[in-house]
């Protein structure tokens, strides 16, 4: 096996495939990347027990063949190669990487012990990669971090006709984002849970490259775009539905600019130790942020518009509130509040009115009862 390739193209491809490699594994070959050269294509593949990745890049094949080498070591080598064309070849029991006067020899792993890459599930449709990445980022902040409750560490991926729904919750907050997508056939439906960490990595890795093909079966999800293909094992269980939880009757509504509110939350939360809440008192024309008790206190007042009450005070975990506000891109945020210690819905606005058809990104927080 021997091939020639651009240094940057090789580095980017190795880095993309190496994302799925396990940090530690009792099976040494799972730390390897499979390189296959044939014609004008180099395929690089990696997998562990939860995910797989394969990418195709252009290369000039001198001798067709395949080799299995330690993936992270190969990535380290690629990153320090000089800026020049690279020649890679199997020489006996070593894989040589040569470029710009530098030469590396890496030991090869046994190909016979390497598992077959899982096939891509049935493709159900496609979604814009940039919008998909933004939607995943909007909801992943609400996903759980407790591995003893694995389902809550995932993102619900729901498909219903031409609408895709992403949702995540850790029981204290609940984020939902809907977006359009292009199903392969009419009547496509699905409701699965994908690891939030894995789905975030996948969405980010595709960048702004076009339309991502989405594939699903009973046990895995697959995503494919421009020579890049990845699969991930689905999580067991189902996330709770948000429909009834998000229904609010006669809420008190407040609207304020998002960026100043984010800065104020950061500033005032400095004195909020541990689980100490941050209080927001909405009144006619302003919102007062307060945190801390007795010795260390902080406050800041910002302009706001309140509807449905003369005054309302709600309190939130500062980190949860900060995560929620930071997940929005809109210049203005709206709070719909049921009262102290009850649900509060945050949505974004791009102008004075809500978007047609209602908000596509919603973040629900449970407020805590303010101390008297």
What is the SS3 assignment for the chain?
Answer: CEEEECHHHHHHHHHHHHCCCCCCCCCHHHHEEEEEEECCEEEEEEECCCEEEEEEEECEEEECEEEEEEHHHHHHHHHHCCCCCEEEEEECCEEEEEECCEEEEEEECCHHHCCCCCCCCEEEEEEEHHHHHHHHHHHHCCCCCCCCCHHHHEEEEEEECCEEEEEEECCCEEEEEEEECEECCCCCEEEEEEEHHHHHHHHHHHCCCCEEEEEECCCEEEEEECCEEEEEEECCCCCCCCCCCCCCCCCEEEEEEHHHHHHHHHHHHHHCCCCCCEEEEEECCEEEEEEEECCEEEEEEEECEEECCCEEEEEECHHHHHHHHHCCCCCEEEEEECCCCCEEEEEEECCCCCCCCCCCEEEEEECECCCC
Question: pLDDT band for position 292 (50/70/90)?
Answer: confident
Total domains, the chain: 3
Taking alpha carbons only, the member of 10, 6, 5, 13 closest to residue 228 is 13
Is 239 within a domain? no
Is 372 within a domain? no
Given this model, what pLDDT does residue 371 score? 59
Is 332 within a domain? yes
Same domain membership, residue 94 and residue 73: yes
Same domain membership, residue 205 and residue 303: no
Is 193 within a domain? yes
- pTM for this model (two decimals): 0.91
Domain that holds residue 317: 252-366
Given this model, what pLDDT does residue 209 score? 76
Statement: residue 354 has pLDDT above 80:
no
Given this model, what pLDDT does residue 121 score? 94
Mean pLDDT of 83-107: 96
Is 244 within a domain? no
- Give the pLDDT confidence of 210-233 residue by residue, as tens digits: 999 999 998 999 999 999 999 999
Mean pLDDT of 314-322: 95
CATH number, domain containing residue 338: 3.10.150.10
Same domain membership, residue 337 and residue 256: yes
Question: pLDDT band for position 343 (50/70/90)?
Answer: very high
Given this model, what pLDDT does residue 33 score? 97
Query: 125 and 96 in contact (C-beta within 8 Å)?
Result: no
Residues of the chain with pLDDT > 90, as a percent, come to 86
Mean pLDDT of 131-144: 96
Statement: residue 274 has pLDDT above 90:
no
Same domain membership, residue 351 and residue 298: yes
Is 178 within a domain? yes
Given this model, what pLDDT does residue 66 score? 97
Same domain membership, residue 69 and residue 175: no
Is 371 within a domain? no
Given this model, what pLDDT does residue 351 score? 57
Domain boundary among 233, 266, 286: 233
Same domain membership, residue 262 and residue 172: no
Mean pLDDT of 274-278: 83
Given this model, what pLDDT does residue 108 score? 96
Given this model, what pLDDT does residue 256 score? 96
Statement: residue 352 has pLDDT above 60:
no
Same domain membership, residue 137 and residue 108: no
- Give the pLDDT confidence of 114-123 residue by residue, as tens digits: 999 999 999 9
Same domain membership, residue 95 and residue 192: no
Mean pLDDT of 296-321: 94
Average pLDDT of the chain, as a whole number = 93
Mean pLDDT of 134-156: 95
Statement: residue 86 has pLDDT above 90:
yes
Statement: residue 358 has pLDDT above 80:
no
Is 190 within a domain? yes
Same domain membership, residue 357 and residue 261: yes
Same domain membership, residue 258 and residue 228: no
Same domain membership, residue 57 and residue 18: yes
Question: pLDDT band for position 372 (50/70/90)?
Answer: low
- Give the pLDDT confidence of 38-84 residue by residue, as tens digits: 999 999 999 998 999 999 999 999 999 999 999 999 999 999 999 99
Statement: residue 204 has pLDDT above 70:
yes
Given this model, what pLDDT does residue 49 score? 85
Same domain membership, residue 141 and residue 103: no
């Amino acid at each position: 096996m021997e091939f020639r390739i651009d240094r940057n193209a090789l580095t980017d491809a190795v880095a993309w495939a190496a994302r799925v490699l396990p940090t530690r594994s009792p099976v040494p070959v799972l730390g390897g990347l499979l390189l296959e050269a044939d014609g004008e294509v180099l395929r690089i593949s990696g997998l562990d027990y939860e995910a797989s990745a394969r990418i195709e890049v252009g290369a000039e094949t001198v001798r067709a063949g395949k080799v299995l080498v330690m993936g992270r070591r190969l990535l380290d080598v690629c990153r320090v190669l000089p800026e020049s064309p690279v020649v890679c070849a199997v020489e006996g029991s070593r894989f040589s990487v040569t470029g710009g006067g530098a030469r590396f020899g890496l030991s090869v792993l046994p190909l016979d012990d390497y598992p077959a890459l899982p096939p891509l599930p049935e493709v159900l449709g496609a979604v814009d990669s940039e919008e998909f990445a933004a939607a995943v980022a909007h909801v992943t902040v609400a996903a759980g971090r407790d591995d003893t409750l694995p389902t809550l560490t995932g993102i619900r991926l729901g498909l219903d006709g031409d609408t895709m729904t992403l949702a995540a919750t850790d029981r204290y907050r609940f984020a939902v984002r809907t977006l359009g997508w292009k199903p392969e056939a009419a009547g496509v439906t699905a409701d699965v849970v994908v690891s939030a960490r894995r789905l975030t990595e996948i969405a980010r890795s595709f960048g702004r490259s076009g339309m991502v093909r989405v594939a699903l079966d009973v046990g895995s999800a697959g995503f494919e775009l421009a020579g890049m293909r990845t699969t991930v094992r689905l999580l067991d269980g189902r996330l709770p539905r948000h429909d009834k939880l998000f229904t609010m009757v006669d809420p008190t509504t407040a609207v304020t600019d998002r960026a100043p509110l984010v800065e104020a939350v950061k500033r005032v939360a400095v004195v909020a130790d541990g689980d100490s809440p941050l209080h927001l008192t909405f009144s006619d024309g302003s919102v007062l942020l307060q945190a801390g008790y007795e010795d260390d206190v902080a406050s800041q007042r910002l302009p706001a518009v309140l509807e449905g009450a003369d005054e309302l005070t709600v309190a939130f975990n500062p980190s949860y509130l900060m995560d929620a506000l930071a997940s929005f891109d809109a210049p203005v945020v709206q709070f719909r509040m049921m009262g102290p210690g009850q649900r509060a819905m945050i949505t974004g606005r791009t102008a004075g009115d809500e978007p047609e058809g209602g908000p596509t990104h919603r973040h629900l927080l449970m407020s805590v009862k303010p101390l008297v």
